[in-house]
Chain A
Amino acid sequence: MTLEGWAQIALVLLLVVASAIPVGRYVAAVAAGRVTFLAPVERAIYGIAGVDPARGMGWKGYTLAMLAANAAGFALLYALLRLQGMLPLNPQGFDGIAPWLAFNTAISFVTNTNWQAYSGEAAMSYLSQMAGLSVQNFLSAATGIALALAVCRAFAAGGLRDLGNFWVDLVRMTLYLLLPLALAVGLAFVAMGVPQTLAPYVQATTLEGVAQTVPLGPAAFQIAIKHLGTNGGGFFGVNSAHPFEGPSALATALQIWAQQVIPFALALTFGHMVGDVRQGRALLAVMLGYVVVATAIVYAAETGGNPLHLAAGVDPGMGNMEGKEVRFGQALAALFTATTTGASCGAVNAMFDSFTPLGGLVPMFLIQLGEVLPGGAGSGLYSILVFALLAVFVAGLMVGRTPEYLGKKVQAREVKLAMLAVLVLPAAILGFTAVSLVLPAAISSIQDAGPHGLSEMLYAYTSAAGNNGSAFGGLTADTPWLNGTLGLAMLLGRFAYVVPVMAIAGSLAAKPKLAESRGTFPTHGPLFIGLLAGVVLILGGLQFLPALALGPIAEHFALLAGQTF
């Protein structure tokens, strides 16, 4: 670790937080309908779609609208991928995507997971990338934000019957938030040399005289939304490690900023929407604290290097550079890793499979903690609110009152639904991993033996169920078993989680908002921040310890003992 490295990390995080403040306030204003500079466009969309923007929806109506929109998105994307061979904007003449892979990919992009069992430049036509994947990048992010707004509204006042209008939230978040930001960030990427073209791939002869195909495409703007929407699906196969996708340290810093800014901003939006900014700040503090600690562990583990390499006489100055890009360096790779997994983005600029065991443990554990640090666009906020409710419930009893969060009593129904949501991740991750480690059809996908092989499988289901989408590597993912079960894990991680969360929102919305007193459990300030951080770790993380002990933790101690896998 170097001071320079830490300075880079601090600068990027500072910029993230500094911009999250105005963005958070802005999103709250958009959600309340106070931002209207695109009102004519908005009206036109509602007119065509036959949406009455004034009509509020209860939690069921809101959730059903969301499910319907996502089901339609899935069907359209699946059809587009299957049929891409017959459609235009396919200069490389790619065939349609095979059924299982198309199923997996369509779910992946609809659920904001963006797990990729394909390599973009070798499989996707420009039309699929633009009209299929990019569109879902916008819609899945807007869906997540819309759901988060609905949940925020449930806390805002007492006796509410509706949580807003899903279609209005979807349109407004796309029009006023995602499109302008993507436009600006995309232009910046173009300026940094990221391609944005419909021209076919370039055939080049290298200095050694070898013929090489240089893939191109409409990448810059897709990459912009890939990060802003915490999607993470790379335009190119190796994601942000690709020289066209992450051309420079500056570009990678901008990507880190982009994949963090909306989740952090939404924490503050929550504060604005419930009328107490301190509440949002407390959530943000928990998120930021974890990001810093996780970054520090990855940074330390990776710059510490591999003891076996050091023993063999490798220069210790670089640390473990296997699988990392020299143009980013250790600090930005560590920050990128912690933020892409903490933020449910899933873009990568380094290969986790080549990390030290502890360096690889951190991204996996961050996802298992429930994608709340800061989590995906919208999903991070509504997920950390589930933990906040549970924290308030357990510890809140200790102040001698029926636990309440922001004046809403947390009672049996909320606890039941919250536990249902919390159950989704361990069931999907551990369940599928356990089965896959004994099923011959699945075992054949694993590259390495021992605990490292277990990590490869565990990471895949972790990434899918956590809707992260990053890959550990070392796993042949394009098989019917993995495509199918990972797709299922993604569906569970998104929808089996959010439906109970919306039911909580519906239940809380209807409750009266109790007045605050000195006897009220304070949900801002250092005590609550520490408590929430602990609850995330204990309720979100403890159940994964046995699995992690058999994977990266065992590997770590084996490595110290000189054993590799």
Chain B
Amino acid sequence: MNATPATHAGDSRRSGRGAALLSGPILRRAAIEAVAKLDPRRLVRNPVIFVTEVVSILVTILALRAAALGQPWTFQAGIALWLWLTVLFATFAEAVAEGRGRAQADSLRRARSDTQAKVLLRADDRALWEPRAAEGLRVGELVLVEAGDLIPSDGEVVEGIASVNEAAVTGESAPVIRESGGDRSAVTGGTLVVSDWIVVRITAAPGSTFLDRMIGLVEGASRQKTPNEIALDILLAGMTIIFLVAVATLVGLASWNGQPPSVAVLAALLVTLIPTTIGGLLSAIGIAGMDRLVRFNVLATSGRAVEAAGDVDVLLLDKTGTITLGNRQAAAFVPVPGVGERELAEAAALSSLADETPEGRSILAFARERHGITVPPQPAAATVVPFTAQTRISGVDLPTGSYRKGAVDAMLRSLGGEAPPALREAVDRIARAGGTPLAVAKDSRLLGAIELKDIVKTGMRARFDALRRMGIRTVMVTGDNRRTAAAIAAEAGVDDFIAEATPEDKLAYIRKAQAEGRLVAMAGDGTNDAPALAQADVGLAMQTGTQAAREAGNMVDLDSDPTKLIEVVEIGKQLLITRGALTTFSIANDVAKYFAILPAIFVASYPELQALNVMHLASPESAILSAVIFNALIIVALVPLALRGVRYVPVGAAALLRRNLLIYGLGGIAAPFLGIKIIDSILQLLGLA
């Protein structure tokens, strides 16, 4: 498990799209946008900052009036200035987050140039097409894309096979194969066909293609508030109203004995008490969370899906390619009595001479590594016996003899007779351990067995342990029989497995888990995965997969790496943690602000309340101003944290809560005591208050 998923997730896996957390151009543009965002009509979406702006306007008017009437105005002006800065810092935070997304969107947009499409006039005639601009394409039309052409829009390959460079979308420059039928039929608009040709049925209208959606998402244009964000907004609005009541009623309460405090002072109290810190950073956190996902080459259809990822309890992972290296590999040669291991290895290697499957390759590799057996690539007088589904045997006839290997039962049937007890025993042992036995024969004589084994990727057990600590169960999905599945599951350290899994089994498993109140995530690529991807709370589809799978999932992994589901979960959690941590910090700040402002406000009526001035702030004016300045600066200070996200450590909820409460709860109480005192001292040094 990567110890610092935060930075891991933040790393760019491809070149050219990773921007520094805060770069110069982004900051400059954000500063301009921050001012534009002061428009109250836009700001009203953020109740806390909206109230701050209204109060800023009020205090500004009062300061101007005082100046016009020749009354003391500098204190009011100072408060007004810092209240405006509070608002500005909040809009700046959002602008920075959006700016980082926009930088990514620009690099994507370059791929979406004006493409000319070759629209087929008749489905069965590739020669008959008319050129048309990509914008004019309609869903369902067939286009021909030949080597050197950009694919004009998202679609499904209906004919042909081609290698396609998808770097524009995935950042990966090695071409991938796209062909009709099967699970590699989906193509993305803006990607380049580098060899051969394909006929594509258009599945997305211009403006709603994958690339368009991606650009919209990273720019934040189509950003909607996520459920948790809405709930948090309500909490913050509620707290704002409560403190509005508390401050407004002070006018009546304070006038009972002495003068009520001035409007500027009440405004300062209000703004420092309402949760401006989290209010100012909330939307930046959301945008940055989405951005982290995109940088990680995963595209979510909505922020809601990212949040859901944080809630996941069960992870369904395909065995092949995700948990294991994808293909069985030779792991041992088990000869029958009377046969040397080297003799068996030699026969096995020769029988695999013409076997192009990964299993066959692994036998050759294993024979070379273990026994130093090298065979010529293609002996001259070789007669290849290819593998067929009927015989399930393959091999080669050489002048030195005929070599065969194949499934044990098929070999026995072909050779006739019983298996020697030693072979039977070896075969059973291999199967029990989750491996696949192959029998090897030379000239109809059984020499022994090859053990083919699923190799679990390194580090998977540690990752599953980490997931377990996070409270997430991992379930391995495989087409293997129960015995094999159980052995691999035990080796990999997953919590459960579905053996001999059909698409229906997956769907049923997801439904059952959901009925028990669990949220399920799964990764998939094939069309037959689509129902399960749609049913899962988080469905991560592979970019190389079919269009059906991509539509059914609510996330697409551009790198087509199903293990990334784990990081997606972490990014989702990190998003929620960052919100919770900064909310806690913001609320906890209030304690110190009270100690700064309350004695300052009431000291005129009750000089004894000076005893509450535990920070020994120099003067009432300085105390109030220091609190307001701290309140504004803390927003800027926390922008990097909001953009980067709070570090997520997979240690289980209780430990995580203890840690975060300590840092952001107690830290939130302590920090402003220190900060306000320092600001007060600086103000004294500068002689400003």
Q: Which residues of A contact B (CB under 8 A)?
A: 158, 390, 393-402, 407, 410-412, 414-416, 419-420, 422-423, 426-427, 430-431, 433-435, 437-438, 449-451, 453-454, 458, 512-515, 517-522, 525, 527, 531, 534, 538-539, 542-547, 549-550, 553-554, 557-558, 560-561, 563
CB-CB under 8 A from A402, the residues of chain B are: 227-228, 307, 310-311, 576
Which stretch, B374-382, B418-426, B463-471, touches the partner chain A? B463-471
Question: Counting chain B CB atoms within 10 Å of each CB, which of A416, A543, A561 scores highest?
Answer: A543
A427 to B243, CA, bound (A): 10
Q: A397-B577, A419-B235 are in contact. Are A558 and B653 (CB under 8 A)?
A: no
Whether the pair A394, B517 counts as a contact (CB closer than 8 A) is no
A73 to B590, CA, bound (A): 43
Q: How many Å from the CB of A513 to the closest CB on chain B?
A: 6
Considering only CB atoms, which chain A residue lies closest to B601 in the complex?
Answer: A546
- Mark out the residues of chain B between 554 and 590 whose CB falls within 8 Å of any chain A CB in the assembled complex: 572-574, 576-577, 579-581, 583-584, 587-588, 590
A490 to B517, CA, bound (A): 41
Whether the pair A554, B238 counts as a contact (CB closer than 8 A) is no
Whether the pair B246, A426 counts as a contact (CB closer than 8 A) is yes
Whether the pair B311, A543 counts as a contact (CB closer than 8 A) is no
- For the complex, is B21 an interface residue (Cβ under 8 Å from A)? no
- For the complex, is B678 an interface residue (Cβ under 8 Å from A)? no
Whether the pair B661, A395 counts as a contact (CB closer than 8 A) is yes
Q: A400-B648, A434-B249, A550-B257 are in contact. Are A558 and B606 (CB under 8 A)?
A: yes
Whether the pair B242, A435 counts as a contact (CB closer than 8 A) is no
Whether the pair B253, A544 counts as a contact (CB closer than 8 A) is no
Q: Which residues of B contact A (CB under 8 A)?
A: 227-228, 230-232, 234-235, 237-239, 241-243, 245-257, 269, 273, 307, 310-311, 313, 468-473, 516-519, 572-574, 576-577, 579-581, 583-584, 587-588, 590-591, 594, 598, 601-602, 605-606, 608-609, 611-612, 648, 652-654, 656-658, 660-661, 664-665
CB-CB under 8 A from A434, the residues of chain B are: 248-253
Other than the given A395-B660, A515-B518, 9 more pairs (CB < 8 A) read A411-B231, A412-B230, A423-B238, A438-B255, A438-B256, A514-B517, A521-B657, A543-B243, A553-B612
In order of increasing CB-CB distance, the 4 nearest A-B pairs are A519-B471, A397-B580, A434-B252, A419-B238
A337 to B599, CA, bound (A): 29
A29 to B249, CA, bound (A): 46
Considering only CB atoms, which chain B residue lies closest to A522 in the complex?
Answer: B654
Considering only CB atoms, which chain B residue lies closest to A517 in the complex?
Answer: B471
Whether the pair B579, A518 counts as a contact (CB closer than 8 A) is no
Q: Find B250's partner among A411, A515, A534, A546 (CB 8 Å cutoff).
A: A546
Q: How many Å from the CB of A324 to the closest CB on chain B?
A: 26
Q: How many Å from the CB of B578 to the closest CB on chain A?
A: 9
Q: A398-B660, A525-B654 are in contact. Are A454 and B253 (CB under 8 A)?
A: yes
Whether the pair A395, B580 counts as a contact (CB closer than 8 A) is yes
- The secondary structure that dominates the A interface is helix
Q: Find B653's partner among A393, A416, A522, A553 (CB 8 Å cutoff).
A: A522
CB-CB under 8 A from A414, the residues of chain B are: 231
Whether the pair B657, A527 counts as a contact (CB closer than 8 A) is yes
Q: How many Å from the CB of A417 to the closest CB on chain B?
A: 9
Whether the pair B227, A399 counts as a contact (CB closer than 8 A) is no
Considering only CB atoms, which chain A residue lies closest to B595 in the complex?
Answer: A545
CB-CB under 8 A from B518, the residues of chain A are: 514-515, 517
Q: How many Å from the CB of B414 to the closest CB on chain A?
A: 52
Q: How many Å from the CB of B668 to the closest CB on chain A?
A: 10
Q: A397-B576, A402-B310 are in contact. Are A538 and B587 (CB under 8 A)?
A: yes
Whether the pair A554, B602 counts as a contact (CB closer than 8 A) is yes
Q: Supply 21 A–B pairs (Cβ within 8 Å), ascending by A.
A: A394-B583, A398-B661, A398-B664, A400-B573, A400-B648, A411-B228, A419-B234, A419-B242, A434-B249, A434-B250, A435-B252, A438-B252, A517-B518, A518-B653, A519-B471, A519-B652, A542-B273, A543-B242, A543-B243, A547-B250, A563-B608
CB-CB under 8 A from A544, the residues of chain B are: 246
Q: How many Å from the CB of B279 to the closest CB on chain A?
A: 14
CB-CB under 8 A from A546, the residues of chain B are: 246-247, 250, 253, 269, 594, 598, 601
Whether the pair B227, A412 counts as a contact (CB closer than 8 A) is yes
CB-CB under 8 A from A430, the residues of chain B are: 245-246, 249, 253
Whether the pair A437, B255 counts as a contact (CB closer than 8 A) is yes
CB-CB under 8 A from B587, the residues of chain A are: 394, 538-539
CB-CB under 8 A from A561, the residues of chain B are: 608
CB-CB under 8 A from A423, the residues of chain B are: 238, 241-242, 245
CB-CB under 8 A from B572, the residues of chain A are: 400
Considering only CB atoms, which chain A residue lies closest to B577 in the complex?
Answer: A400
CB-CB under 8 A from A412, the residues of chain B are: 227, 230-231, 234
Q: How many Å from the CB of A401 to the closest CB on chain B?
A: 5
Q: How many Å from the CB of B555 to the closest CB on chain A?
A: 17
Whether the pair A515, B249 counts as a contact (CB closer than 8 A) is no
A401 to B580, CA, bound (A): 10
Q: Find A433's partner among B230, B252, B581, B652 (CB 8 Å cutoff).
A: B252
Considering only CB atoms, which chain B residue lies closest to A413 in the complex?
Answer: B231
Whether the pair B609, A398 counts as a contact (CB closer than 8 A) is no
Considering only CB atoms, which chain B residue lies closest to A511 in the complex?
Answer: B517
Considering only CB atoms, which chain B residue lies closest to A543 in the complex?
Answer: B246
Whether the pair B609, A549 counts as a contact (CB closer than 8 A) is yes
A373 to B230, CA, bound (A): 31
Whether the pair B654, A437 counts as a contact (CB closer than 8 A) is no
Considering only CB atoms, which chain A residue lies closest to B593 in the complex?
Answer: A542
Q: How many Å from the CB of A306 to the closest CB on chain B?
A: 16
CB-CB under 8 A from A415, the residues of chain B are: 231-232, 234-235, 238
Q: A527-B661, A534-B665 are in contact. Are A437 and B246 (CB under 8 A)?
A: no
Q: How many Å from the CB of B272 to the closest CB on chain A?
A: 12
Question: Counting chain A CB atoms within 10 Å of each CB, which of B231, B247, B313, B584 scores highest?
Answer: B231
Q: Find A451's partner among B257, B469, B579 (CB 8 Å cutoff).
A: B257
A415 to B572, CA, bound (A): 21
CB-CB under 8 A from B519, the residues of chain A are: 514
CB-CB under 8 A from B516, the residues of chain A are: 515
Whether the pair A399, B247 counts as a contact (CB closer than 8 A) is no
Whether the pair A558, B656 counts as a contact (CB closer than 8 A) is no
CB-CB under 8 A from A400, the residues of chain B are: 310, 572-574, 576-577, 648, 656
A527 to B657, CA, bound (A): 8
Q: A415-B231, A543-B242, A554-B608 are in contact. Are A519 and B653 (CB under 8 A)?
A: yes
A454 to B652, CA, bound (A): 49
CB-CB under 8 A from A453, the residues of chain B are: 256-257
CB-CB under 8 A from A393, the residues of chain B are: 231, 235
Whether the pair A433, B245 counts as a contact (CB closer than 8 A) is no
Considering only CB atoms, which chain B residue lies closest to A449 in the complex?
Answer: B257
Whether the pair A557, B608 counts as a contact (CB closer than 8 A) is yes
Whether the pair B657, A399 counts as a contact (CB closer than 8 A) is yes
Considering only CB atoms, which chain B residue lies closest to A561 in the complex?
Answer: B608
Q: How many Å from the CB of A456 to the closest CB on chain B?
A: 11
A561 to B235, CA, bound (A): 41
Whether the pair A422, B238 counts as a contact (CB closer than 8 A) is yes
Considering only CB atoms, which chain B residue lies closest to A538 in the complex?
Answer: B587
Considering only CB atoms, which chain B residue lies closest to A417 in the complex?
Answer: B234
Whether the pair B584, A395 counts as a contact (CB closer than 8 A) is yes
CB-CB under 8 A from B310, the residues of chain A are: 400-402
A458 to B534, CA, bound (A): 58
Considering only CB atoms, which chain A residue lies closest to B666 in the complex?
Answer: A534
Whether the pair A397, B608 counts as a contact (CB closer than 8 A) is no
Whether the pair A518, B656 counts as a contact (CB closer than 8 A) is no
A545 to B253, CA, bound (A): 12
A518 to B495, CA, bound (A): 14
Q: Find B658's partner among A411, A527, A539, A558 (CB 8 Å cutoff).
A: A527
Whether the pair B253, A395 counts as a contact (CB closer than 8 A) is no
Considering only CB atoms, which chain A residue lies closest to B575 in the complex?
Answer: A400
Whether the pair A538, B652 counts as a contact (CB closer than 8 A) is no
Q: Find B245's partner among A416, A431, A438, A450 (CB 8 Å cutoff).
A: A431
Whether the pair A542, B653 counts as a contact (CB closer than 8 A) is no
CB-CB under 8 A from A433, the residues of chain B are: 249, 252-253
Q: How many Å from the CB of A263 to the closest CB on chain B?
A: 25
Whether the pair B249, A547 counts as a contact (CB closer than 8 A) is yes
Whether the pair B257, A519 counts as a contact (CB closer than 8 A) is no
